[in-house]
Amino acid sequence: MYPFESTIESPLRFLSSYLKHHGEGYIRKQYELSNEPDFCFDCTKGVIIVQKILPRNDLRGELLDDETNTREYELSWPEYVHDEFQRQIEISKRLIIEQSRQNGKDQDAKLYSKILIDCLEVQKYLDSTLEINFDTELNNFIRQILTYAYKKFNKYYSNIPEIKRVKSYYKDQNRLNVTGFKLKKQIDSSNIKAFLERLYSNKFISKDTPQISITQFLKGRIPTLPIDWKKDPHELKFFIDRLCNVEVLEKKPKQKWKHLIKVFILDGNELDSNWHRNHNKLKNRDKRLEIVRLILSLYSNYVPKD
């Protein structure tokens, strides 16, 4: 349990440890072995049965005592995770206050800097990773802590370099769905993994292309390093067309070719601005089928035979 416990010395330890030490598994164990009063895990249903006095406006579950509004209700796994994150946010806020009370002015500046950088590093990781559950809770944790720290410290330490780095990052347009090629959140992580494996194993892209470049592209961003496409430009054109014509993107790109010269290079060379107009037909049936199979791996349990 130690790596996940935030302390006065490290008030955001839970947040940083969650990603480093498989925090979802840690919370899952808490969920299934919950020993809190009035909590009982039902292994048949996979939910916690709660009997608890609730506020008068909380009408969950079955009423057991009208006078106290004691009710019995089910707490699902996603609901439990949400509640645990909210609890950890409040713990972190309290610990930040406690450390600040013990600090002098210089130590408060260091505390503010560390909070900003810790949040920024986790945010960068989230923005470059596709295969992660409960990203909404993680993003909310970062947002609440940054807001809290800003209100408490920025009046006195508004010119530290770290606040400029944070503001610069959040203003960066690459965090948005710039290219239009952002996958829907509903796409299963196993499908994404299969897609990535097929990209490399079937030599669509160079083995030197970092995986983060692919994940950045599939989040609608322009990759830090371009994706090195190793096959024919006709195949790249067909790949982009097929990607736009299936139900895997949040929305269909309005200008799908506009940013792709910044996203892809072709066998180490930059693409010409009109490359897609000169390579608009892929006639080879086997090559077309190979790309269809690649796209299918994103949204189907179908496993084609090679």
Lowest mean per-residue pLDDT among 4-18, 252-266, 269-283, 291-305: 291-305
User: Across the chain, which distance is largest between two alpha carbons, in Å?
Assistant: 76
Domain boundaries, the chain: 2-171, 189-299
Residue 149 pLDDT greater than 90, yes or no: yes
Average pLDDT of the residues in 80-96: 94
pLDDT band at 148 (very low <50, low <70, confident <90, very high): very high
pLDDT digits (tens, 9 = 90+) for 190-241: 888 889 999 999 999 999 999 989 998 998 988 989 999 999 999 999 999 9
Distance CA 297, CA 300 (A): 6
pLDDT at site 290 = 94
Banded pLDDT at 304 (limits 50, 70, 90): very low
CB-CB contact of 192 with 298 (8 Å)? yes
| Tokens matching residue 100 | 């600040």
The CA distance from 262 to 278, in Å, is 18
Indicate whether this model's pTM tops 0.85.
no
Spell out the residues 6+ positions from residue 214 whose beta carbon is closer than 8 angstroms to its own: 196, 199, 205, 223, 227
